Amino acid sequence: MLYALPQEKITKLRNLSFRPEFTGAEMLFAVFRSDPTVIAQILPKPLKPAKEPLAAAFVARYPNTNFGCVYNEGALLIQTRFRSEAGFYCLAMPVDDDMAMVGGREQYGFPKKMAEEITLEQMDGRRVGRVVRKGVELMRIESAPSETAGDRELDFLGPVGRDPDGRTRREATSFLIKYFPSPHRKGFDYLPRIVRQVTAFRPRADLLTGPCKVVLNSSPYDPFGVVKVEEVLTCVYGTWDNSMLPGRVVGRIWNPWRFLPHALFKTDAVPFLLGEV
């Protein structure tokens, strides 16, 4: 019975060597320069702005996973540093499947929300990725990819690594803040945790690059538009085989009240409580 698994099934789960795999992921990435003042305001301490005020956005289709879930996803990320390491701070990650939402939020701390429409389509020779939530098109990435993408276009993801079989991969590091509000509504269940998680991106041979336009819009629930798109630097479209490697806690937020302003965007209740909708 699923509500009370027998011990033999618990043992089987504990013995599984499992990591989330995304085979044949179709992805459209864009990297752009943004407003350094806004980025400094958004990043919670102890995360620090990177040398350049860069952000990234993507829309992805995951047609084949190893955890029984086929879904679409968008993301808005900011380049950051934690201690001496570069990585991404994820501002938003809309999905269109509840299993994907719960897994990413509860295990790693990704700020996932359900969206009613996430698409990645071909239109008149262009690739168009869209995220629509609460009736607002929050993200639109348009590209006309025509040239083969090289290593330079992939540098934004992270350093080059290799699988045991020699296949090249890019290792993208995310720094996430994992927390839960307390049931008495006065603070957090525990000191918010800084989670470091690496995703291995394995490109196939069909990666393309080309001119790109990124449009970010805001709603009371999802203020994507505060991250200004000042200059698009690179755009990559193609197919990947990706793996989420295990995360680990690398720090704590010792002053949770200072973190509180950064902790209220994962729920849609706050705009209602503030009278903004």
> Where are the extended beta strands (E) located within the chain?
21-33, 48-49, 54-62, 71-82, 85-95, 112-114, 117-123, 126-133, 136-143, 147-148, 160-162, 168-178, 193-203, 208-209, 212-216, 231-244, 248-252
Spell out the domain ranges in the chain. Answer: 19-273
Answer yes or no: is pLDDT of 16 > 90.
Answer: no
Average pLDDT over residues 264-273: 90
Q: What percent of the chain has pLDDT over 90?
A: 89
Answer yes or no: is pLDDT of 1 > 80.
Answer: no
Average pLDDT over residues 191-214: 96
Least reliable range by pLDDT among 3-17, 75-89, 127-141, 202-216: 3-17
Provide the residue type at 3 as one letter: Y
Mean of all residue pLDDT scores within the chain: 95
Buried b (16+ CB within 10 A) or exposed e, 4-42: eeeeeeeeeeeeeeeebbbeebbbbbbbbebbeeebeeb
- CATH for 19-273 is 2.40.400.10
Taking the whole predicted model, whether its pTM rises above 0.75 is answered as yes
Answer yes or no: is pLDDT of 2 > 90.
Answer: no
Indicate if the alpha-carbon torsion angle 122, 124, 128, 131 is positive or negative.
negative
* Helical spans, DSSP H, in 22-61: 36-42
What local confidence, expressed as pLDDT, does residue 267 receive? 86
Answer yes or no: is pLDDT of 149 > 80.
Answer: yes
